[in-house]
Chain A
Amino acid sequence: MMHRRNTAGERVTINIDGKNVEAVVGESVAAAVLAAGAGATRTTPVSGAPRAPYCMMGVCFECLMDIDGIPNRQACMVSVTPGMKIKRQAGARTVGGAS
């Protein structure tokens, strides 16, 4: 279980897979998800292996999640916003309907 070193700051509520969780304004989705103890955040497209945030700086692409309805977003590069809806991603993203 990971813990925030600095718990000061304004709180917002985000939603991870249907569960409301408190996060701190200014932190990334990946940090908020780790602090919430969410574990694996996606499974890989080919083998289905579980993955979780790793580099936390936009390089490794392990932390891909569905954020506010858009799949394959790098959770470490997106800041939390009030009411944000975050989902673990299972395998490859959907293509979606006509844009």
Chain B
Amino acid sequence: MPAPGAPRTFDVAVIGGGMIGPAVSLGLLERGLRVCILDEGDDVLRVARGNFGLIWFQGKGFGMPRYVEWTRRSAMLYADFAAELKDSTGVDIGHARPGGLELLLGEDELAHRQHYLGQIYQQGGGANYEVEFIDRKQVADMLPNVTLGEDVIGASYSPLDGHVNPLFLLRAMHTRFQQAGGTYLPHHRVSGVRKDGDAYTLDTEGGSVSAPKVVIAAGHGLKTLGPPLGLDIPIRPQRGHIMVTERAQPMLPMPISAFRQTVEGSIMLGVSAEEAGYDDTIDTATLHTIAARAKRTMPQLGNLNIVRTWAALRVLTPDKCPVYAESDSHPGIFGIASHSGVTLAAANAKVTAGWIAGDPPPPEFEAFTVERFHDAPA
């Protein structure tokens, strides 16, 4: 028995119970490590409750080929990851990879998209970038139940794009975590981390925890937790709105970037981006913009009623690419920041966990440093 008041000890303490912390933790448990997840209450910013649910490849990694590779890797690992979660927990996370479209309205959008994706293609050496442009007729063939708006002139398409039910994903990961022997500690907001011999002691509102390795996967909490531990990562909140329609018969056989239909029939409309600080309230003008674009893209969506709407705050780095870094000043402290917690969940469970456990970092991580935000440009 530990002395009363002595910290509970683990091999790895993971700060954050959202999309990233539990994914990494599942991989750590698979490697036989003792893991706890330190989480807060329901009164904090819960980015992982606000996801749209895309597993999205096309367009990711502008300016950073390694992020293209990392996203591809996760997309390819997802089917097995989803099957494992279903087999172990019974929770079907609704994973599908039917490919995805970004519909383009007018010549300007097409030109901009061609330029943008062309840059990503070229930065990768011009090989093996699984995105192509298709014309309006090809789009219509892919979406037989959709009457396309007259401005739709084509789309970019990637066979790697897919989607998932993000709430079932979160639930499945948490269920699996506890089933596999992990210790979930809600109401354990971390107030400080200090070096204590060979381990770190984390002081929380729910008592202390000790572990030689600490993963900070705390979303916006990284902003305050990171700097004293040598992880000064300049993340900022970026607000996004989502609207959900009533359930309808199958119309969209694949996700269309800002629009996707769930297995149950709801159509989700989304993807706004506003700089609003930590304000996650709803802005009706933004909802109007989303609805207007939806109707312009697929006019029949105008027949459907909206039944829910919400806004959430992405965890965004200055270059929109992720951070996976171990602190130089505090070895054993790892910081992870990304706005793609859903897309990257499979890679985080299968690969990131190995790096935390002591494997060499995967090649992609050479680009995901903290230093890139602080070094003066050459």
Chain A residues proximal to chain B, CB less than 8 Å: 45-46, 72, 91-99
Contacts and interface: CB of A to CB of B under 8 A. Distances in A.
A97 B264 contact: no
A94 B248 contact: yes
A97 B301 CA distance: 9
Which among A45, A95, A96, A98 has the greatest number of chain B C-beta atoms within 10 A?
A95
Contact of B301 (A45, A92, A95): A95
B299 A99 contact: yes
B265 interface: yes
B244 to A, nearest CB: 14
Nearest to A91: B249
A86 to B, nearest CB: 18
A92 B303 contact: no
Interface of B: 145, 147, 246-249, 251, 264-265, 295, 299-305
Contact of A99 (B246, B303, B305): B303
Contact of A46 (B248, B249, B264, B301): B264
Contacts of A91: 249
Given A45-B264, A72-B305, A98 B299 contact: yes
A91 B295 CA distance: 24
15 contacts: A45-B247, A45-B264, A45-B265, A46-B264, A72-B305, A92-B247, A92-B249, A92-B265, A94-B249, A95-B145, A95-B251, A96-B300, A97-B300, A98-B147, A99-B303
A52 to B, nearest CB: 18
A99 B248 contact: no
A94 B295 CA distance: 16
A95 B264 contact: no
A51 to B, nearest CB: 13
The 3 closest A-B pairs by CB, nearest first: A99-B302, A98-B299, A45-B247
B246 A93 contact: yes
Among the interface residues B249, B265, B299, which one has the most CB atoms of the partner chain A within 10 A? B249
B303 A95 contact: yes
A93 B300 contact: no
Contacts of B145: 95
A98 B305 CA distance: 15
A76 B147 CA distance: 32
A96 B295 CA distance: 13
Contacts of A98: 147, 299-300
A25 to B, nearest CB: 27
Given A45-B264, A92-B265, A99 B247 contact: no
Contacts of B305: 72
For A72, A93, A97, A98, which residue has the most chain B Cβ atoms within 10 angstroms? Answer: A98
A99 B294 CA distance: 12
A46 B303 CA distance: 21
B333 to A, nearest CB: 45
B176 to A, nearest CB: 24
A97 B300 CA distance: 5
A63 to B, nearest CB: 14
B264 A96 contact: no
Contacts of B264: 45-46
Contacts of A95: 145, 248-249, 251, 300-301, 303-304
A92 B261 CA distance: 13
Contacts of B248: 92-95
